[in-house]
Structures are given as C-alpha cells and as structure tokens.
Amino acid sequence: MTAPLVSVRNLAVHYPVGGGFLKGKPKLVRAVDGVSFDILPGQILGLVGESGSGKTTVGRAILKAAPITHGDITLRIGDTVLDVGHLSSHDEKKMRRHAQMIFQDPYASLSPRMTVRDIIAEPLEALQLTSSRHETDQQVREVAEKCRLNLEHLRRFPHAFSGGQRQRIAIARALVSNPSFLIADEAVASLDVSIQASVLNLLKDLQQDMNLAFLFISHDLSVIAHFCDVVAVMYLGEIVEIAPTSQLFSNPAHPYTKALLSAIPSLDPDDRGDRTRLTGEIPSPISPPSGCRFHTRCPVAEPRCRDAKPSWRSPSDQHDVACHLVEGRSEHAIVHPVS
Amino acid sequence: MSSEPLLTVSNLSVQFRTDEGLVTAVDDLSFSVAPGQTLGIVGESGSGKSVSTRALMRLLPNNAAIAPNSRILYTTKKGQQLDIAKLSEPSKALDEIRGGELSMIFQEPSAAFSPLYTIGNQMIEGIRIHRKVSARQARITAIEMLERVGITEPELRIDQYAFQLSGGMRQRAMIALALVMRPALLIADEPTTALDVTIQAQILDLLAELQRDFGMSIIFISHDLGVISQIADHVLVMYLGRAMETGAIRTIIRNPQHPYTQGLIKAIPRLDALDQPLLPIPGDIPSPLERPQGCVFHTRCPHAADHPHCETIIPNSTLTGDKHTAACHLLEEKVLERSL
C-alpha cells in the first residue's frame, strides 16, 4: 500500500473562551475532538458536515493555522516526514511550499492593492523559490495559463474580475509553488452554479495533471459527491463515518449521514415529503452530549447511545462508522487509510 | 388555477443611477402569482430577482427608479385593485400594503430584526400599526404566532433579542414577524441560503405547512433550483434582469426550452448522476455595466453563433406549451414553422 501523504491521528483542537480576572476558569470549545484519517498522494478526501462540526478547524490545524491541543499530524514530502506540530523554521518553509490553501471568498482572500501578477507571485517570493524576477514571471505565466487566466489579466487588479475569475486567481496562487497537497475550504460555495461547475472541472483537471492530493471541505454533499474519492462526515468535532464516495452515497450507515442525504433538496419536484427530518440544531461544542454526540438528535437513538461512546465498525471494506447500531467488524482503533 | 391572479406584474423595469452610469437591474419583466400558490424565482447573481421583488413592496433605494410603463397590479384582501407602481411614497395605501398585505423574509434574519428591541417589541409594534388592539392583546397574538412557527417556550423567547437565538430559531422568529399580520403574499428572499441543509429542510417544511394553513401565496427567490423544485408550483427563470423562461415547475425541470435553463440544469451537481461530468455554462456572467445587446444570454449561449438575430434583436417571450413561455429566437422560429 502507498504511504499516506497526510496522516492525522487523534487530532484535538480546543479553544478557551471567556474567563479572565474574576470570571473564573475559561470554558473549552472542543472544536475538533479526536479526528484521525489519512490522505494518499493524489487522493481527494472530502470533509462534510454542518456549520460548527469542526471541518474548517481540521484543515487549519493541518496547515498549522490552528493550535493542536493533542494528536499528531504528519506530512510526507519525498522521503522526509514532517511533524506539523513540531516544525523547525526550515521545515516550516518546506511545508508551506508543499501544502497550500484555497479559501471560500475570493473577494476577501485577494489583496485589492496588488496586481494579479503580484498576488500569484507572492508565494514564490515569500518562500524564495526563484532566483530572478524573470524566473518568477515565467512561473507565474505558466500557472496562470494552466488556470485558464488570460495573460493580459496579470497586470490588472482583482476588482476588475468576477467571482469565478477571482477564484481561478486564488487557485493559481495556491499552485505556483508546485505543491503536492491542497486544502480547499468551501472553495466553490460562493460561486454561481454555472461558474461552480467550471471551477470544479478546472480543479479536477489540475489535480490529475499535477497528481495533487486534496482535503476538500464543503457543506454541500452534491459537490463532494462529484469531486471526492473518499468522504468523511463530521459531527460536533468528530468523524462519524468515512468511506469511498460511491459507498457512502449508495450505502450510508450512520443515521447522521442518512439524515444529511435525505435533507438535500431533490431536483425532482415529485420527490417531496416523506424524509427523515432531523429535529433541533447542532449542540454547543462547549458541552457536547455524552456518549454518542449525535444521540440528542438521532431518530433511532437507544439508551446505550447516551451512556457509551460508539466504537468503530466496518459494515463493508474501507467503510468505517461510529455508531452503536451498525453491525460489522469492530477491530479498528483508528480509521484506516482508504486506497 | 381558475381564479384571478393575486398579483400581476407587467413590463416592470428598474434602473439604478450609479457613478459609472445607468444600470438596468430589471428589464421588461412580467409575471403573475395566483392565490395560494408559490412562484419560485431562480437566477444567478445579478439576475435581478431580489430587486424585482423589492420593487413590489416599493423598498428600493433612492437611486433606483421604476420605469413609468411598469405595472404592479395587486388585489387587496378587501377586493380592491391597486397599481403598487403608481402609489405615492409615503402614502396610507403603501403603509397598509407593507406588512398587512405583502410581507418579506430575508436570508439574514439580522436584516429584519433590530438588535435594540426584543422580538416581542417588534412583533407587537407591527400588530398595533395594522390593528387597533391593546398591547396585551397584541402580545398574546405574538406569542401564539411564535408558537405556531415552532419556537419552544414562546413566552420566554418573546422578551429576548434576535441575537440570543440560534440560526434556525432566528429564521423561525423572522417568519413569525412576517406572518403575524397574515399577509396575502409572502416574499421569501433566499430564506434558507445561510442555513445548514438539515435546518433548511425544517424551514421549507414549515413554510409549506404555514402556506396550507393560512392560504397565502409565496414568491420564493433562490439561486438553488433544487430548493425551488421542492417548494414552488410555478417558476420564473431570470438572467441579467430579464425573464428567460416561465412555467409549471415540472415542465421547467423535465422539459426546459430555453438554452439558459437547459445549461443551468446541466451545471447542477446531482446525486443521482454521479458518473456524469458537470457541464458548466461557458464564460462569465457579464457585468451589469456591460449588458449585452440583443438576447442578454447570447454571449454564453451555445446556439447564438449560428443564429443572426441573437446578437442584435431582443427575443420575444414565446408560448411553447401550457402556461410555458420562453424568450429565445430559436423557439420563435420553431413555433412559426409549426404554425405554417
């Protein structure tokens, strides 16, 4: 089996909130609480969940943009394995070159004071990856062409561009350092449908050309289904189900995954009504429910769900679920890599 | 639908004066809403779906103007017919229409609630503007309405501020605020877009239920054809301020006639067609300052190249089936051929 490119083990990210002088101890927000997964080179892992599920925090922790409370994150670059929690400044530079990010809002992620050329060139300059301005320009032009940007656009400022064009600029900036791993956090969520499809197709083409691995974070299951090889479903800081995309969508096992799928509005006007509706909203991550965190909203919860944390079960090969009610082998202490 | 439409909009145009020039946001738009029915308006950004419905309530900013030949005919609860486009501002008739006849909910509940007043303050204020009742009676009505939209402990919630509620509850409170005067027409502008999919499903169920109970009409605006498909009876597809296609929801989804609607449906990632590639509509949505001549969609239309009129002449709306119209030169020709 190929060695994973990114490996996350028992990751927890806890933030203190409130507290202070005379206010007592701060409370802890358990944004991410014991998450494990692997991403293989060239693989696209989708991370889906409602707001507050911790999916963005997982992405940020991998790029050292959120504090790792405990757990390990490793990134393999060639033969070196970098421990993201304990990076030397030399290794951090290396990590920044090989792992990049695309954000949701291309109106906020691009500086209005820089030309498109300067925006795309910034990673090369910050990481000192090129030796001359000529070389930088050449790499910027190459990546801009790959991202279907017009070369005359390079001299303009971002305000002259539409949302879809801006997102292509953000993609070019992420790819200019020739990374092997990209985190896309709701990268198409703010785009119109007709534009969203073209940006997704572009990302897929680039992924195949450059053998990129992705952590693709989205709240939109339909987008995830079309883009990802493997999907992990998060709820309140934990992964509750992980499986290859076709398996997850044809055969969801966790009641939360089932509820999410049934809540997607169908394009078929006759497909209305009878669905499993979740009641209530996602609880606060400050005091998550005991046992299975989903039990307060679960339509099939039993008394044991309140008391004990479910262990991992595998209803089929490469498919792992954390639910008391799912039958299957239960030998996995952590989620195994899906190849 | 044998009864007269509740609302008939004809030739509605709205222009904005901006520093860069005159921007046409809505261009010669006509549609109608039948009593008790839901009209879905679907379109991408810049399609004018929000501006056209703001015009119905005369809630446009000062730099916007409704063109003089626009008509917004509305039949009030008392059976009186008015042209909302012609009402003077301010006027008693307009005050009665806003809230009492037409009401609106938004994507962001924070846009509907003031952070300085409790939910109860704002609901009671609304009730007492339209009805001569005591504050105590208005409070009872407000509590009943909060309970009706599924807010737990309404006696407690009524004295809270909107920011103290969760996203889903805030959306419910906004629906209560909009419906407390039992309007005949509710305009819902992307009310579920900011919500998680599970909460969206709850809110869509609630709106359908309230519509059944109150018998109101709804104009539901969304960029998401899936959401429209779940709630609408009829649909209006807009692009750059113009109507591209209108018809019954089933007809539009299963048998779209306009190239834009066809492209829009093909671009949607569908769970029942995972092996099929996504087909984007080529190009970008033009800037409102560079409105294309002729058919507004011609810069992105796959058929425009082989058709001489698309770049120069604005296509008329053609009847292509029962209550199904589309504005496209190709269809005009087809219909003409059939009739010859």
What letter represents residue A249's amino acid?
Answer: F
Cα R_g (chain A), whole angstroms: 21
| ipTM for the assembly | 0.86
In this predicted structure, the answer to whether residue B13 has a pLDDT above a threshold of 50 is: yes
What letter represents residue B277's amino acid?
Answer: P
In this predicted structure, the answer to whether residue A321 has a pLDDT above a threshold of 50 is: yes
Q: Rounded to two decimals, what is the model's pTM? A: 0.91
Contact between chains at A275 and B201 (C-beta distance less than 8 A): yes
CA distance B135 to chain A (A): 32
- pLDDT reported for residue A241: 97
pLDDT confidence tier of residue B311, bands split at 50, 70 and 90: very high
For B235-286, write each residue's pLDDT tens digit.
Answer: 999 999 999 999 999 999 999 999 999 999 999 998 888 888 899 999 888 8
Mean pLDDT, rounded, for A273-297: 86
With beta carbons under 8 A apart, name residues in chain B contacting A196: 267, 280
Chain A residues interacting with chain B (CB cutoff of 8 angstroms): 50-51, 162-165, 192-198, 200-201, 219-223, 225-226, 245-246, 249, 259-270, 272, 275, 277-279, 281-282
Q: Given the structure tokens 């005379």, which residue do they identify?
A: A22
**C-alpha distance from residue B311 to each of A40, B244, B281, B303, B307 (Å):** 49, 16, 18, 11, 8
In sequence order, what DSSP letters do the residues of A73-127 get, joined into one string? EEEEETTEEEETTS--HHHHHHHHHHEEEE-S-TTTSS-TTS-HHHHHHHHHHHT
What letter represents residue A246's amino acid?
Answer: S
For B83-98, write each residue's pLDDT tens digit.
Answer: 999 998 889 999 999 9
Helix B119-130 with B135-148: angle, nearest 10 deg: 120
CB-nearest to A269 from B249, B267, B274 is: B249
For A74-106, write each residue's pLDDT tens digit.
Answer: 999 988 999 999 999 999 999 999 999 999 889
Residue in chain A closest to B196 (alpha carbons) equals A50
